[in-house]
Amino acid sequence: GQQLNQSPQSMFIQEGEDVSMNCTSSSIFNTWLWYKQDPGEGPVLLIALYKAGELTSNGRLTAQFGITRKDSFLNISASIPSDVGIYFCAGPNGSSNTGKLIFGQGTTLQVKP
Amino acid sequence: DGGITQSPKYLFRKEGQNVTLSCEQNLNHDAMYWYRQDPGQGLRLIYYSQIVNDFQKGDIAEGYSVSREKKESFPLTVTSAQKNPTAFYLCATNNLGHSNQPQHFGDGTRLSIL
């Protein structure tokens, strides 16, 4: 079945540093979604990508839909303490429009002030 | 996300007891989903519903039950058959009118064993 692999699993960085994480799939996706989950809360959608090669920004966050359609990247520039949390990638589960998503295991980000 | 309300925020279950987690949405979304999240892991799908009075099992449905009597509501019951219920439970919704609409999440319910 479909699988999403996120890396790295966790990151511990200094405030002000840039962050890069990625997500790879065993099959082709036509949508990539990136979510952030703060401790004790539900995930919140950061960026949605719908076209191969698409590069989309949301403030200090930038995400790209890989040309092969099997990967996606999320970059955070000039990290701040409130960037702490778990970042998940997600994509459609299956070929039909069921609305179901498959999620990566998450990248846990910790920022040292 | 605003518009999706999960309650309670914290819930404790005694041995052999069934408990029900509430999820209500005012977004008029077609589909609703229940996920389980264990520490350090991703989200695993328990049940989902695309339309009123219909629902399907996800990847880990054993020990859980749901109902979808109204479009706005999708309660999840954790039955006594679920031997390891301690986890963070998340409800999500999306529309099915356009392909690949993102899911939006509630703030979760943390269930623990007494």
Binary contact (B94, A41; C-beta < 8 A): no
Binary contact (B110, A40; C-beta < 8 A): yes
**What CA–CA distances, in Å, run from B60 to A19, A98, B17, B44, B47?**
33, 18, 19, 7, 8
Q: What is the mean pLDDT of residues A6-33?
A: 95
Q: Which two tokens stand for residue B82?
A: 């679920």
Query: How many angstroms separate the CA atoms of A53 and B29, rounded?
Result: 29
| Chain B residue with minimum CA distance to A98 | B96
The residues pairing with A71 across neighbouring beta strands, listed in sequence order, are A24
Each residue's pLDDT tens digit in chain B (114 positions)? 569 999 999 999 888 899 999 999 999 999 999 999 998 778 999 999 999 999 999 999 999 999 999 999 999 999 998 989 999 999 999 988 766 789 999 999 999 988
3-class SS letters over B37-98: ECCCCCEEEEEEEEECCEEEECCCCCCEEECCCECCECCEEECCCCCCCCEEEEEEEECCCC
Chosen from B103, B107, B109, B111 to mutate, greatest number of chain A CBs within 10 A:
B103
Summarize pLDDT for A42-87 with one digit per residue, the tens: 999 999 999 999 999 999 999 999 999 999 999 999 999 999 999 9
Query: How many Cβ atoms from other residues are within 10 Å of residue B98's Cβ?
Result: 8
Contacts of B41 in chain A (CB under 8 A): 105-106
Query: How many angstroms separate the CA atoms of B93 and B81, rounded?
Result: 26
User: Is the model's pLDDT at A95 over the cut of 80?
Assistant: no
Is residue A45 a contact partner of residue A20, using CB atoms and an 8 Å limit?
no
Summarize pLDDT for B29-59 with one digit per residue, the tens: 999 999 999 987 789 999 999 999 999 999 9
Please measure the distance between the N-terminal and C-terminal CA atoms of chain B and give it in whole angstroms.
Answer: 30
Is residue A82 a contact partner of residue A75, using CB atoms and an 8 Å limit?
no
Facing B108 at nearest CB: one of A41, A98, A103: A41
The residues pairing with B56 across neighbouring beta strands, listed in sequence order, are B48
DSSP type of residue B113: E
> Strands A10-14 and A107-112: what pairing?
parallel
Closest-CA residue to B107 (of B13, B25, B17): B25
Query: What pLDDT was estimated at residue A3?
Result: 81
What amino acid is encoded at B83 in this protein? K
pLDDT tier for residue A108 given thresholds of 50, 70 and 90: very high
